Amino acid sequence: MDALLRRWRIFFPDATNCINLCRKQQQHCRFYHEKKKRLLLSQHFLSMNLREDKLVSQETKMGEMTCKSQRLMLLGGLICPASPGCYHYMPYTVRAMEKLIKVIDREMQVIGGHKVNMPTLCSAKLWRASGRWELMGKELLRLADRHGQEYCLGPTHEEAITDLIASQGLLSYRELPLLLYQITRKFRDEPKPRFGLLRGREFYMKDMYSFDISEEAAYNTYALVCSAYCNIFNSLNLRFVKVQAATGSIGGTMSHEFQLPADIGEDKLMTCTNCDFSVNVELINADQRCCSVCKGELVETKGIEVGHTFFLGTKYSSVFNATFQTSQGKPALAEMGCYGLGVTRILAASIEVLSTEDAIRWPSLIAPYQVCFIPPKKGSKEEEATVLLEGLYDCVAEAVPQLKEDIVLDDRIHLTIGKRLKDVKKLGYPYVIIGGKAALDDPSLFEVWNQNTGENLFLTREAIIDLLSKVPAC
């Protein structure tokens, strides 16, 4: 074979250069392919380097920007103002929201929920039939089409879903309970939008509607959904309170709110120091300080409402004639419940209650990305550690496949590590791995920051892989 190659080079002297060129191109393509496999921060669409004074000018009447989550999400470029109460959700926020939706979908489907998608344009005819066209007042965003037909941009869909079920004809009792839900944009004409995603005019909500054969069965379904909500908040490691609440414009005979305790919360709650009883102050006398269950002391706190459930009975099914056929073959009205979760509000509220003043902390399960790798600055004494850190990135991607799409390499090596760490705090990666001087030791040690706990460790490659393998995937 060697002899053939020598003869080849004698008769075709230019072939050697051609072969070498092909080999270089092959190596370059392999290098390019490997780089493309890595998720590089420089290729992410981010609104970085925002200053607080610039944010004030971006927001309409932002002199009262006292909400931590609003300030942090704006500074990190997670949201960008569009108009009062409306925001552009940037890619990191969309990733977090999609992960949260995955968590919600999982729990809703465990209890038998079926996902649907209803029109945003809701007919005024349906809302007038239920009496809520007038009851909701200016909160409804109303419009008319070219034919003069009136609509509202749906803030909730009790009328639409009940009319849909009624249009299907007489359901059999065997088809119930029926649980239908959607996750869509909702609209409310807030008189004073504030606190970023916590109180806006346009937001994402999960709304579920249940149909049952009897009041008893409907109460069982109600309890089932409430339990699923508890599972969602527990999986996010969010401390929450389930409180008795007013039914308001939705109506019904029973209602509960799911609240995240927070100083900036707009709801005032009374919680018992002796038992699990909690209630919104709307339902009790302002001077009541005694628990109605155990006579213990009631203490006032504030909360951010992130979920709300209602036992509706036949309030809507009687209006739209949503019926089913009983086991005796007779028609009967379906007993209903409705259940809402504020998807974008959960995102903002979790940042509000978990974050520090200068660093975002997400619930680990829904962090946009789980790990950020930071190599040393180009031209620094530690520059040789770049190759070692990139090798660690590749090892993690292979050894921990559930995190393959959740790790990012901050390849902006023209910036110092300190500058990039400031940006990392704005985005809220649970884990940050730095290739510094210790990476050049034998064995190589990489600095690992756990941003959610503040813990700082120096670990070997094997120890890092072991640590990250325990990170739950969404």
Helix (H, G, I), strand (E, B) or coil at 438: helix
Task: Record the tokens describing residue 258, joined without a space.
Answer: 């799911």
Sign of CA dihedral 36, 372, 42, 352: positive
Place of tokens 């790990």: 371
pLDDT tens-digit profile of 409-459? Answer: 999 999 999 999 998 999 999 999 999 999 999 999 999 999 999 899 999
State both tokens at 276: 């699990």
Q: Count Cβ atoms below 10 Å from residue 13 Cβ, excluding itself.
A: 9
DSSP codes of every residue in 234-270:
HHTT---EEEE---TTT--SEEEEEEEE-TT-SEEEE
Angle at 62 between CA 60 and CA 64, to 5 degrees: 145
Q: Tell me: cis bond preceding 177? Omega within 30 of 0 counts.
A: yes
d(CA 459, CA 462): 8
Q: Cis before residue 261, ω within 30 degrees of 0?
A: no
CA distance 385 to 442: 12
- State the greatest distance between any 2 C-alpha atoms of the chain, in Å, as a whole number: 104
pLDDT for the residue 58: 58
Distance CA 368, CA 64 (A): 28
Phi, psi of 78 (to 5 degrees): -80, -30
Strand runs labelled E in 316-415? 323-325, 331-333, 335-342, 371-374, 407-409
Coil, strand or helix: which one is 449? strand
Provide the terminal-to-terminal Cα distance of the chain, rounded to the nearest Å: 54
Residue partners of 249: CB distance under 8 A and separation at least 6: 132, 135, 136
- Cα distance between residue 353 and residue 356, in whole Å: 9
On whether the CB atoms of residues 261 and 301 are closer than 8 A, the answer is: yes
User: For each of the chain's 474 residues, which pLDDT tens digit applies?
Assistant: 455 445 545 544 554 554 454 444 444 444 444 455 899 988 888 765 455 555 555 564 544 557 999 999 999 999 999 999 999 999 999 999 999 999 999 999 999 999 999 999 999 999 999 999 999 999 999 999 999 999 999 999 999 999 999 999 889 999 999 999 999 999 999 998 989 999 999 999 999 999 999 999 999 999 999 999 999 999 999 999 999 999 888 988 899 999 999 999 999 999 999 998 999 999 888 788 888 889 999 999 999 999 999 999 999 999 999 999 999 999 999 999 999 999 999 999 999 999 999 999 999 999 999 999 999 999 999 999 999 999 999 999 999 999 999 999 999 999 999 999 998 999 999 999 999 999 999 999 999 999 999 899 999 999 999 999 999 887
DSSP per residue, 133-186: HHHTGGGSEEEE-TT--EEEE-S--HHHHHHHHHHT--EEGGG-SEEEEEEEEE
Q: Which residue has the tokens 């909360």?
A: 303
For residue 438, how many other CB atoms are within 10 A of its CB?
A: 16
Contact 254, 313 (CB under 8 A): no
- CATH numbers and ranges of domains, the chain: 52-119+164-354 (3.30.930.10), 369-468 (3.40.50.800)
Contact 277, 271 (CB under 8 A): yes
